[in-house]
Structure formats: structure tokens, C-alpha cells
């Protein structure tokens, strides 16, 4: 079962999405230009240049420029610091190691505690890697030349990548936002339209949270790109507000509608959505006025119809200025402080830096004492797998090792059967382009596989493109893999056994905060609050699911037998039950709001009182998640509820609550 889940996750991570092919092609084109220029001008460190291309080529030009700017600053600072250390300590190896270690320690601490962590991460990599060059350089002049060539290979690669991303197949954030909104409408259509089959993934609230998060991210990039204030912000905000609401609602529909009346109604709604999608493609107002469709007993379809009708009836003024400003404030997040809040009060950051420094120094001494220059990847592996949280460390280990094995396999095959047949740069390009395309496709995937793509490209380049001539020796590939494996083993041991950073203890707190948000914001008397927080809850559920996924891959063999697996299973069961509770509670509130028009004032007050009792039970769940002992929930008498649909949903909600309180630990 677990193996099937892993394969399914890998399959899902490799599926195409809007913009993935574009980003992959831009990555490959940049790599091709870099290889041609480096070989023609004999610029060394081609593998380093390839890594820069992969990190720099992002989903759109805005992120690419930001990262490129940071790389230029970080690379220049790193080279200057490295040269300064060497100038001061050239005749004193002990002082050189001591000073380099101090700079590394400070840089790694700042990586965790400042908002420009990537800048200090690059400094730490260059400073520590330059120490390996000192030991193999015959004199100071050649050492300085080698370090300066590192700067050249990084800076010129940044320039080439920026040119490719700006001039060739540029992806503008606004276009990306439009494409993603159209993609979301297509998913909504699959969930609604009875003539189109939908998948379980389309109805998954966690997937909805990920999609909503992406929508706001693309809007933020579009606003950042809009220097001349030409972006119609209100137009896109209104579209995002409508689509996010309907996307959330459509996920709660069954994969197949039960009766013919619902199917007819759903088909009409799907046709209206098609018209909205066409207007989005043309960036115009919708050409269709909503028809007064006949509603059904399906509360979700009724709410989708209500949202569409409200939008089409007042498309130019769908949101008030206050609502638009509220969403803009949400997108334009306040400027972060340079330091994180607990930078100097939480000891985990300095301990993390010390652990990483220890692993790097041990690897440096092993590398130096054995005089085995081929395992230069030993130190880099110790540094690269150093991640906050054991789950992140384990993920990095798996991705680095799997990527290195795949890249090395391609390199070995190429050296054994292909490179001796190549006699021109054109032949070399025919060899490397398919590998870079595969690596680029993987690198543009989800976080759970993306680093493997970078590692495939890096390992392959180390074996085939380290020199400007053809490669026939297999020992280099062997040594690189050994260095990676040794670094993974050493780094993992240190991070697992010395003050391990386990994250499992805060999962239940995150789940409790979601239930509190539901309890406080979803008020049966105020549907507007529910509309505004529905997407926030979906995003929080997605983030919590990612967190649980990281914790689930933390190493288990250092715990008491079965304790980690037991806790992991418990948190996953809790997460599933809470999703069910939120789903049933939301559906109950929607049905109650839909049924109010047929109720008298006394009935409305009576049902409101019942729902308020359910809110008290939600508070008991919060207390349970926070570790408190509580009584069993008290359920109201439902015999006085006359509305059968409402009564059924109340019973479903009580069943989901009971499932939670019956879960033992």
C-alpha cells in the first residue's frame, strides 16, 4: 500500500501543468548556450554553471530576475570573502580553517534567521568549497585564478540565463495568472459537468488549498511586474474571488450526481462557466447574462449558482472597493523584518549551524587525510542535505542520492558507448539535451521531487563536462558517487543523533489552530465571514498536509520501536477526521443558509442554537488537540428539526464528531 502511494505521488509530480513545458524548455536552452560558450571560450566549472541555470530559471521572469540579482550579490560577496580569508591566512593552515569555519558558522546561522537566507547559503558554500581548492593548488596565483574563474562562471551564466528568459519564450506573470485561472475553471467544469468524468484529486480539499495558494502567488507576481500601473487589478481580483469560491464548493460535490434534476442543473452551470472562461481568454466582460435557472435540493449546486448569478448580475462591481483593498493587502504582504522573531532566543538555529559545521569539517579532514581529490562532493553533500527538520533532511538525502544515481547511470552509459563516437560539439549537444530535458522536467515538479532533477543534471555534468575534452575514464564518476554517499551518511548521522530537529510535536497545534479558525469565523448568522475564510482554511489544510508529509519521512530507526510509525498513523487519522468534520460542518451551514427562506423566525433561532452547540463541541476538539482532557461532546435533540435535509446533515456532522472522540491514542 505504501509503495503504491509512493509511486502514485511520483506519477502525480511528473504530470504536466500550465507553464511546466515552457520552464523546462527555457532551462534546456540556457544550458545549451552555457555549454557552447564555456567550451568555445574554455571557461571552467561547467557543472557549476549548469547548477546556476537550474536554480535561476523560475516559473516567470519576475522570480528569475529577483534570484539572479541575489545570486550576483551573493556570488560576489562569497568570492571577496574567500579571497580575503586566503590573503590573510595563506601561510597559516590552522588559522585559515579556523577563520573559514567562523565565516561558515555565521553564514549558516544567518541563513536560518534572516529573510535573505539564500545569500548567506551561497556564501557558506563558496567559502567552504574554496578550502578544497587551497589544498590542490600549486601556488597562490593559480589558486586566486581558480577562485576568480568560479566568479566568472557564475556571473556570465546569470547573464545568459536572464537573456534567454527575457527574450526567448518569456513567461509574463499576468499571462501565467490567466492560464492558471482558465486551468482552474476546467477543473471546476470536470467536477460540475455530469458529461465529464472527474478524479478523486479534483475533489480533494488539500489540492484545492494548493491551487488557491498558487492563484494568489501568481497575482502577487503580476502586481510586482506591473511597474507602469497598467494591470487591471480589480478585474483579476474579482475573477480570483469567484473562481476560488466555486473551486472550493465544486470539490465538495460527489464524483457522480445522484438524480437527473441535479445533472440538468449542473450542465447549465457548466455552460455558464464555459462563457466565463472565454471572457477570461479575451480579457473582457462575460457576454452572457445569467439565466434564472431552476434550483434543486443540492445545496452545493445552489450555492455555485448563487455565486455565478451574483457575479454576472454585477460583474463590473462584483466586489466593493473595501473588499478589493482587503485582498490587495492580503497579497501585498507587509514587509518582513530582516531577522525572524526568535532569531536570538531559539537555540535551534545556532545548534543547526554547529551541526552542519561539524559534518563539513569532519568531511574536510577525511578528504584531506586520504588525499582523494575525486571525492570533492563529500563536503558539498554534507552541506546540501543540512535542512531544518529531520523530515527535510531525509527528503534531501533521498532526492540527492536518487538524482545522483540516475545522473551517474546516464554518464556511465554515455562514456561507455557514446562519447568515443562524438567528434563535434553538435554531437555532444545531441547527447546532453535529452538528459537536461529530463532533469529540467523533474526540477520543475513539486517539492517532493524537484531537487532530484537538479542532482541529475549536476552529476551528469560533473562526469561529462568537467573538462573541455572528451571523457573516457570511469573513475571520476565512481569517485563523485562515493563522495555523495559518504556525505549523505556523515551528514545524516550528525543531524539524526545530535540534537535532532523533530517537527512532529507541533502538528497537533497546527490542526487545533485550523479548528479554532472554523469555530470562530464560520458563524451561522454571517455567511460573508464564511466565504472569506473558506479559502484560508483550504490553504491551511494544504500547508498542514505538507507538514505531515515531511514528518512522516523522518528517520524511525532511532526511536523506540514503532513509536514514530504509531504517531504518524495517529496524526494522519486525525487529519482525515478533521477534514471530514470541516466538510460536514461547512455543508451544514450552507444548507442552513439555503433553508432559511422557508423557515419562520422561531425555527431559525432554534436551528441557530443547535449549531452554536456544535460550535461548543468544536472547542472540545481544540482542547483535545492541545492535550487537555475533556468530557464527551453533548449533542442537541434533533427531533424538533423539521427540515429533513438539514437534519440529515446534522446527523452526519455528529457522526464525524463521534469518530474523532472515539479515536484512542
Interval 364-399: pLDDT, tens: 888 888 888 778 788 888 888 888 888 888 888 889
Evaluate if residue 530 carries a pLDDT over 60. no
Please compute the mean of the pLDDT values over residues 608-632 and round it to a whole number: 88
Work out the mean pLDDT of the chain and round it to a whole number: 85
The whole-number pLDDT of residue 555 equals 65
The predicted structure's pLDDT at residue 558: 47
Residue 265 has pLDDT above 80, yes or no: yes
pLDDT of residue 1: 42
Give the Cα separation of 230 and 221 in Å (integer).
14
Q: Let me know: does 180 contact 215? Beta carbons within 8 Å.
A: yes
Let me know: does 407 contact 456? Beta carbons within 8 Å: yes
**Which cell numbers hold the place of 660?**
474523532
Q: Which three cell numbers stand for residue 30?
A: 540556457
Instruction: Transcribe 96-115 into DSSP letters.
Output: HHHHHHHHHHHHHHHHHHBT
What was the pLDDT predicted at 119? Answer: 85
Residues 6+ apart with CB under 8 A from 580: 656, 659
Classify 453 as helix, strand or coil. helix
Domain boundaries of the chain, sorted by first residue: 2-170+347-497, 174-331, 504-662
Model confidence at 351, in pLDDT bands (50, 70, 90)? very high
285 backbone dihedrals φ, ψ, rounded to 5°: -75, 155
- If DSSP codes are grouped into helix, strand and coil, which group holds residue 255? coil
Q: What percent of the chain has pLDDT over 70?
A: 91
Beta bridge partners of 526: 523
328-332: which pairs have CB atoms within 8 A and are 24 or more residues apart?
A: 328/223, 328/233, 328/237, 330/216, 331/216, 331/219, 331/220, 331/223, 332/220, 332/223
| pLDDT tops 80 at residue 427 | yes
Q: Is 194 helix (H, G, I), strand (E, B) or coil?
A: coil
Mean pLDDT check: name the lowest of 2-6, 153-157, 287-291: 2-6
Q: State yes or no: pLDDT of 638 exceeds 80.
A: yes
The string of DSSP codes covering 276-328 is: HHHHHHHTS--S-PPP-PPP-S-HHHHHHHHHHHHHHHTGGGSS-HHHHHHHH
Q: Is residue 557 predicted with pLDDT exceeding 50?
A: no
Confidence of residue 168 (pLDDT cuts 50, 70, 90): confident
282 burial (CB, 10 Å; 0-12 / 13-18 / 19+) is exposed
User: CA 536 → CA 220, 442, 539, distances in Å?
Assistant: 16, 29, 5
Is residue 324 within 8 Å of residue 233, measured between CB atoms?
yes
pTM of the predicted protein model: 0.81
The answer to whether 469 and 70 have CB atoms below 8 angstroms apart is no
Most confident of 216-220, 435-439, 547-551: 435-439
Spatial distance between the Cα atoms of 205 and 538, rounded to a whole number of angstroms: 6
| Buried residues in 12-26 as b, exposed as e (16+ CB within 10 A) | eeeeeebbbebbbbb
Q: How far apart are CA 170 and CA 60, in angstroms?
A: 7
- Short-list 379, 392, 389, CA closest to 451: 392
pLDDT band per the 50, 70, 90 thresholds, residue 359: very high
Average confidence (pLDDT) over 484-493: 90
The predicted structure's pLDDT at residue 361: 92
Backbone angles phi, psi at 598, to 5 degrees: -105, 5
- pLDDT at residue 442 in the model: 95
Reported as a pLDDT band with limits 50, 70 and 90, residue 43 is very high
Q: How far apart are CA 407 and CA 402, in angstroms?
A: 9
pLDDT of residue 564 exceeding 60 = no
Q: Which of 532, 522, 512, 528 is nearest to 608 (CA)?
A: 522
DSSP 147-193: HHHHHHHHHHHHHHHHHHHHHSS---HHHHHHHHHHHHHHHHHHHH-
CA distances from residue 44 to 37, 38, 41, 80, 422 in whole angstroms, order as listed = 11, 7, 9, 19, 21
Q: Rounded to the nearest 10 degrees, what angle do helices 425-443 and 20-41 cross at? A: 140
Alpha carbon 111 to its chain centroid, in Å, reads: 19
- pLDDT for 334: 56
- The answer to whether the CB of 435 falls within 8 A of the CB of 454 is no
Looking at the predicted structure, is the pLDDT value of residue 560 above 50? no
Write out pLDDT tens, residues 177-188. Answer: 999 999 999 999
From the centroid of its chain, how far is CA 32?
A: 28
Task: Given CATH 1.20.120, say whether it is the number of domain 174-331.
Answer: yes
Percent of the chain clearing pLDDT 90 (strictly above): 28
Q: What are the start-end ranges of the H helices in 523-643?
A: 527-552, 563-595, 601-625
Residues found in the chain: 665
Reading the block at residue 94, the C-alpha cell is 590552522
Residue with cell string 443547535: 610
Residue 646: in which H helix or E strand, if any? helix 644-662
Amino acid at each position: 500500500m505504501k509503495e503504491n502511494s509512493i509511486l502514485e505521488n511520483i506519477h502525480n509530480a511528473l504530470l504536466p501543468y500550465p507553464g511546466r513545458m515552457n520552464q523546462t524548455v527555457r532551462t534546456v536552452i540556457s544550458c545549451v548556450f552555457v555549454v557552447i560558450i564555456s567550451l568555445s571560450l574554455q571557461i571552467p566549472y561547467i557543472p557549476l554553471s549548469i547548477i546556476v541555470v537550474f536554480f535561476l530559471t523560475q516559473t516567470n521572469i519576475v522570480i528569475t530576475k529577483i534570484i539572479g540579482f541575489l545570486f550576483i550579490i551573493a556570488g560576489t560577496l562569497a568570492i571577496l570573502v574567500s579571497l580575503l580569508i586566503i590573503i590573510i591566512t595563506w601561510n597559516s593552515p590552522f588559522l585559515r580553517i579556523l577563520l573559514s569555519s567562523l565565516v561558515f558558522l555565521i553564514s549558516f546561522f544567518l541563513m536560518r534567521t534572516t529573510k535573505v537566507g539564500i545569500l548567506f547559503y551561497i556564501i557558506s558554500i563558496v567559502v567552504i568549497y574554496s578550502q578544497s581548492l587551497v589544498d590542490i593548488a600549486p601556488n597562490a596565483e593559480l589558486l586566486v585564478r581558480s577562485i576568480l574563474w568560479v566568479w566568472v562562471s557564475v556571473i556570465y551564466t546569470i547573464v545568459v540565463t536572464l537573456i534567454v528568459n527575457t527574450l526567448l519564450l518569456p513567461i509574463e506573470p499576468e499571462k501565467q495568472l490567466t492560464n492558471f485561472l482558465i486551468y482552474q475553471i476546467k477543473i471546476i467544469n470536470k467536477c460540475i459537468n455530469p458529461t465529464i468524468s472527474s478524479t478523486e484529486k479534483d475533489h480533494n480539499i488539500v489540492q484545492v488549498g494548493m491551487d488557491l495558494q498558487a492563484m494568489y502567488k501568481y497575482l502577487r507576481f503580476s502586481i510586482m511586474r506591473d511597474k507602469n500601473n497598467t494591470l487591471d487589478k480589480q478585474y483579476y481580483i474579482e475573477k480570483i474571488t469567484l473562481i476560488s469560491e466555486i473551486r472550493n464548493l465544486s470539490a465538495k460535490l460527489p464524483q457522480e450526481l445522484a438524480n437527473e434534476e441535479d445533472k440538468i442543473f449542473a450542465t447549465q452551470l457548466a455552460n455558464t462557466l464555459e462563457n466565463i472562461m472565454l471572457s477570461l481568454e479575451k480579457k473582457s466582460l462575460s457576454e452572457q447574462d445569467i439565466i434564472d435557472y431552476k434550483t434543486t435540493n443540492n445545496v452545493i449546486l445552489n450555492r455555485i449558482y448563487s455565486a455565478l448569478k451574483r457575479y454576472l448580475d454585477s460583474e463590473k462591481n462584483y466586489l466593493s472597493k473595501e473588499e478589493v483593498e482587503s485582498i490587495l493587502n492580503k497579497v501585498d504582504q507587509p514587509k518582513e523584518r530582516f531577522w525572524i522573531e526568535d532569531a536570538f532566543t531559539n537555540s535551534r538555529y545556532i545548534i543547526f549551524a554547529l551541526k552542519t559545521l561539524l559534518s563539513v569539517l569532519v568531511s574536510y579532514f577525511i578528504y584531506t587525510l586520504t588525499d582523494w581529490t575525486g571525492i570533492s562532493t563529500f563536503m558539498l553533500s554534507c552541506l546540501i542535505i543540512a535542512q531544518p527538520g529531520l523530515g527535510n533532511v531525509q527528503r534531501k538525502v533521498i532526492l540527492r542520492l536518487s538524482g545522483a544515481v540516475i545522473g551517474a547511470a546516464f554518464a556511465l552509459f554515455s562514456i561507455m558507448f557514446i562519447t568515443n563516437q562524438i567528434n563535434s560539439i553538435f554531437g555532444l549537444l545531441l547527447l546532453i539535451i535529452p538528459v537536461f530535458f529530463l532533469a529540467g522536467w523533474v526540477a520543475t515538479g513539486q517539492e517532493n521531487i524537484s531537487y532530484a532533477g537538479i542532482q541529475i543534471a549536476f552529476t551528469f555534468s560533473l562526469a561529462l563536462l568537467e573538462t573541455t575534452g572528451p571523457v573516457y575514464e570511469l573513475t571520476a564518476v565512481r569517485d563523485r558517487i562515493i563522495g555523495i554517499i559518504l556525505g549523505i551518511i556523515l551528514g545524516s548521522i550528525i543531524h539524526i543523533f545530535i540534537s535532532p530537529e523533530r517537527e512532529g510535536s507541533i502538528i497537533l497545534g497546527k490542526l487545533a489552530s485550523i479548528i479554532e479558525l472554523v469555530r470562530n469565523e464560520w458563524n451561522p448568522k454571517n455567511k460573508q465571514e464564511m466565504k472569506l475564510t473558506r479559502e484560508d482554511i483550504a490553504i491551511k489544510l494544504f500547508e498542514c498536509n505538507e507538514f505531515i508529509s515531511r514528518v512522516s519521512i523522518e528517520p524511525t530507526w532511532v526511536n523506540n520501536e514503532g513509536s514514530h510509525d504509531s504517531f504518524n498513523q495517529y496524526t494522519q487519522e486525525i487529519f482525515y477526521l478533521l477534514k471530514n468534520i470541516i466538510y460536514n460542518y461547512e455543508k451544514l451551514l450552507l444548507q442552513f443558509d439555503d433553508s432559511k427562506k422557508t423557515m419562520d423566525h422561531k425555527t431559525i433561532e432554534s436551528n441557530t442554537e443547535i449549531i452554536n452547540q456544535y460550535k461548543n463541541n468544536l472547542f472540545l476538539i481544540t482542547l483535545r488537540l492541545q492535550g487537555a482532557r475533556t468530557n464527551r461532546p453533548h449533542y442537541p435533540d434533533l427531533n424538533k428539526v423539521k427540515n429533513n435535509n438539514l437534519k440529515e446533515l446534522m446527523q452526519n456532522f455528529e457522526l464525524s464528531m463521534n469518530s474523532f472522540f472515539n479515536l484512542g491514542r
